[in-house]
Amino acid sequence: MPGENTRREDFVTFDNGFISMEVLKGPEWTIYSMDKKSVLFIKMSKPLMHYSIDKYPFIYPTLFEEGIQIAEIDLKTFIKFGDEFEIDYKPPKCLYFTNTARSASTLFGSMLHQNGHSIVIGEHPAITTLSCGFEQSYWNKNDITRLLSPTIKILRKSIPSSHLLIFKVRSCDICLVPFLAESFPEIKHIFMFRKRGLSSVERMISTEPIILFLHQLYVNFPYFCRFLTSLISDISKEFKPKTMTEAAMLVYGRPYWIYKKNENLFDFPIVWQDELISSPEKVLKPIFEKLNLPSDTCVKHALACMEHDSQDGTYLSQKIMKQYSASKITPEIKETILSYAKRFEMELEILGFE
């Protein structure tokens, strides 16, 4: 299921003994998942920087499908291990790119990926494991503070110092922005949003109708449900959505709410999906300039990205999404959605319910 976290149970493994911790410093090794006991590393056939967004819009399925070896270390060792990095190594400059679902974020990420200048990694599961765990109260604030630093250092360990590394993350990963600002004040932040995007988000989650079933299951059997899935966040438990539109509003509105609460931590004005599509050069040029990337050549490459579907071949491709439709907004549903919007401090013109 696309929304599920990566877990140690994803693999049937055969014990092949011990390896040196030094091996995990190699460029082919990256983090796969973690829990309160240990961290799972996975070895790929190529360095992490090969799995950039232009070839792999979402990296997490590829880690599962193409991983060739895994290794496990306990959490205490992982934290100590992370401290060993960047002593004699200058890390690359980083940009943390947050967004809401269905906002053309994969397209924008592809535009930001510039060969020879910047590398964009799409939705690394190590980051989502932390954010989802935090939203579900699996991790507390102290856990995130301790785990985020080694996670970022290990993810960027093999990226050339001369490049800009861009973490294009899932919408839920915006909750980590305050922690990153505290631990890595040099990392820049940018946020992207889509006006009137609720129906598009509903079509996206309609590809997995079990999501609404799990929400409804939680309403009636909360204790039982926690053993079945990691998809029920604390905000879902608060609202208890009863329709697909309500569930979509949680996905759509919460990142915007978190952005507004932490707007002072972002280094760029919000990137609006409609403005990127209608006036890409106007939107992109100041961003490239602020990132110290050659704006003229970068804009030219970025515009070429608009000629094809950036999510082609994935479960969110335009071809697949056309098969789904959003619910009709009845007066009852509208009233509920407006209450959600008020909770998320979303303006009616942004929601599209003027």
Which of the pair, 74 or 313, is modelled with greater confidence?
A: 74
Residue 73 has pLDDT above 60, yes or no: yes
CA 174 to chain centre: 8
Task: Compare 86 and 306 and report the one with higher pLDDT.
Answer: 306
**Binning pLDDT at 50, 70 and 90, where does residue 3 land?**
very low
Three-class secondary structure of residue 118 per DSSP: strand
Query: Alpha helices, DSSP H only, in the chain?
Result: 59-66, 75-83, 105-112, 125-135, 141-155, 177-183, 198-205, 210-220, 222-225, 234-239, 244-261, 273-278, 280-290, 295-304, 318-321, 331-343, 348-351
| Burial of residue 332, with CB atoms counted within 10 A of its CB: 0-12 exposed, 13-18 middle, 19 or more buried | exposed
User: Is residue 45 predicted with pLDDT exceeding 90?
Assistant: yes
pLDDT attached to residue 244: 87
The domain segmentation of the chain, as residue ranges, is 8-351
Q: Would the CA dihedral through 206, 32, 77, 160 be positive or negative?
A: negative
219-239, pLDDT tens digit by residue?
Answer: 566 666 555 555 556 677 677
Q: Side by side, which strands form the sheet with 164-168?
A: 118-122, 164-168, 93-99, 188-193, 271-272
pLDDT for position 18: 84
Instruction: Check residue 192 and give its pLDDT.
Output: 98
Q: Is the pLDDT of residue 248 over 60?
A: yes
**Tokens at 262, concatenated:** 């932490």
Mean pLDDT to the nearest integer, 193-219? 79
Q: Per-residue pLDDT for 334 more than 70?
A: yes
Pick the CATH number of 8-351 from 3.40.50, 1.10.1760, 1.10.10, 3.30.70: 3.40.50
What angle separates helix 331-343 from helix 244-261, to the nearest 10 degrees? 20
CA 193 to CA 99: how far, in whole Å? 6
The confidence band for 137, taking pLDDT boundaries of 50, 70 and 90, is confident
Mean pLDDT of the chain: 88
Q: What is the pLDDT of residues 160-176, one digit of tens each?
A: 999 999 999 999 999 99
**Average pLDDT value for residue range 51-72:** 92
pLDDT at 1 over 70: no
